[in-house]
Amino acid sequence: MRELRVAKTAGFCFGVSRSVEMAEKLFAEEGHCLSLGQLIHNEDVVKALSDKGMRVIASPEEVKPGDKVLIRAHGVAESVYDSLREAGAEITDATCPKVTAIHTIVRRAREEGRFVIVIGMRHHPEVEAICGWCGEHEVFENAAELGLWLDKNPEIWKKPLSVVVQTTQTRNNFNECCDLIKKRCTNSKISDTICLATFTRQEEAERLASDCDAMVVIGGRHSANSVHLAQICREHCGCVQFIERTDELDLDMLKDKAVVGLTAGASTPAWIIKEVRNKMSDEIKVEESTVEKEMSFDEMLEETLKPIYNGDKVKGTVVAITGTEISVDLGTKQTGVIPTEEFTEDGTKLEDAVKVGDVIEAVVVRVNDVEGVVTLSKKRLDAAKVWAEVEAAVEDGTVMEGVVTEDNKGGVVVSVKGVRVFVPASQTDLPREAAMSELLKKTVRLKITEVNKARKRVVGSIRRVAQAERRERTEAIWNEIEVGKKYHGVVKSLTSYGAFVDIGGIDGMVHVSELSWGRIHQPSEVVSVGDEIDVYVINFDKEKRKISLGYKDPEGNPWTQFTNRYAVGDVASVTIVKLMPFGAFAEVLPGVDGLIHISQIANRRIGKPEDVLTVGDVVDAKITAIDEEKHKISLSIRALSAPAPVAHAEEEPVEEKNEPADDALVYEVSADGTASGVAPEVEE
């Protein structure tokens, strides 16, 4: 054998230690006592106690008035307590607190008329005692038994059930039974009453057995937890010795094994474990490194006996999670417990916050030596760490993050990892007229400016961070800006000539002519303050820090749409938008107008356009000319009309030499896109 690995959890659990200590105390005070049944399942311990003055009795009938009677760690039925009191015994109750908790559960179930299912070894003293506190009940040792019973008794499926499990049962057996109950029964309350120490011990035994070539399990033949340990080890290791004491150890079986594991049941005293370990070390050559590991076992035993006090900072491993508490192995005889609400009060799911196997640091809130439970608080330790971070943030200027939880006239309160930070109104970075409530429930970044831990007062500034970030964004924009670059911005203000848009710390101006391809009179016709819009850079001046932006989509240019759709000679349905002495302007497409000269409105001579047309009329017109360079269009209604009647002979012919030709372009388009007519010159 090259290596010996000793389980950290080997030896007395809290319940066993407590019962033995109570016996020792009785010996010291009275010199003797009676034990109703074996105090624990270990012959050597029972013999040692008997030598000191403890006598084991089988029933209350053996008790005489005034006798000091010690109730065993496994507990007894409710009726036994009554019998002992009737006999005049003075009772010292050494029942393990974990077992007592089960008695309470099943007693309440009895009072509520619930049927109780007990999962455990049918003839074990602990299970027999539990049954003595039940009303209607059944005991099942495994899922196979339970399944057959449920099949034969379908009437039980809808009954109110309460389920408990022997403290020393294996997790797998319990889970298999629970799965059956959940599938069949519709009104069940399942209580996971497996002792944390048992669960931890079983998990470690499983890991050891999987990694070792051989396992030695020390425990009493009648000890349920020891029997289960041996069973678990056999499932994962081909060579397992289950012994009660040192003289049963078969060293020949271990000589050719490279790595051997050693564990022990909850009722095995430390001195037996040491004897077995020492014998293995003496008889088998173990490398020096292994001896060092073995020697640390004494230290580990001492560590488990160290007292824990309120306020201590401790570290442990999560070994079990229920709906109400997290169980933590602290490496001591006590079990650490943290309420689940410490992990879920901010809305986080429990399964996302903590998992079995996680190492957790916490502060001791309360020590209950009677029940072997230490109440812990991770939240308090985290809060202390945060205070340290907050104090350091004042010195180094660290930016912290939190959520705004309260508002008032003076400012807002920000929760930074649970610490309340007050931010005055002047430091919120909101405009003066803005309500503080605008920040509620928002995540903000801030700097800590003042800390007074004694008064629990912390002051911060959102504004300092916002200003610094704006400066950074501003410089970044000026370093990267170029014509044509696109930005996503927010409309900050409107004027008669355009809109100012924040593109990330810098305001640029979108001229009214760049807001729309169509006619608009005010920027508010297109955008409003607070709108998020996409803009692009038309030009900029770094020295003057000015940026001109465009909002109109270049691909939406109406002139491009017009030229893609129409050509000279096409007929378009147009809308009359303006009447002038020399003709009428008509909208061909939104943003594109053409001129119908007065000579092209009708197939006869008219005095003015309004004699025939009205603003808003929709008419068909022929496109007679297109100036691509100046974006001008000439239209003609006359070209689509029938010829005018032939004039009478006495009528003088009408001179039309001053009328423009069909393809004449007789108007101008201003720089802002507005078309205006230019009347033709008349020769004198």
CB 273 within 8 A of CB 263: no
Determine the length of the chain: 684
Q: Closest by alpha carbon to 277, among 258, 292, 297, 259?
A: 297
CA distance 418 to 276: 51
Q: How many CA atoms lie within 13 A of 340 on its CB side?
A: 15
CB 635 within 8 A of CB 595: yes
Instruction: Write the DSSP assignment of 588-608 as a string of letters.
Output: EETTEEEEEEGGGT-SS--S-
Q: Which helix (H) or strand (E) holds 296?
A: helix 288-304
CA distance 635 to 600: 8
CA distance 88 to 66: 6
Contacts of 21 (CB under 8 A, 6+ apart): none
CA distance 42 to 11: 11
Q: Closest by alpha carbon to 364, among 317, 419, 302, 316?
A: 316
CB atoms within 10 A of CB 278: 12
Q: Closest by alpha carbon to 97, among 8, 13, 1?
A: 13
Q: Under DSSP, is residue 161 helix (H, G, I), strand (E, B) or coil?
A: strand
In the set 62, 126, 176, 555, the catalytic residue is 126
Q: How far is residue 92 CA from its own chain's centroid? A: 48
Contacts of 611 (CB under 8 A, 6+ apart): none
Question: Is 126 marked active-site?
Answer: yes
CA distance 269 to 554: 88
Name the residues annotated as catalytic.
126
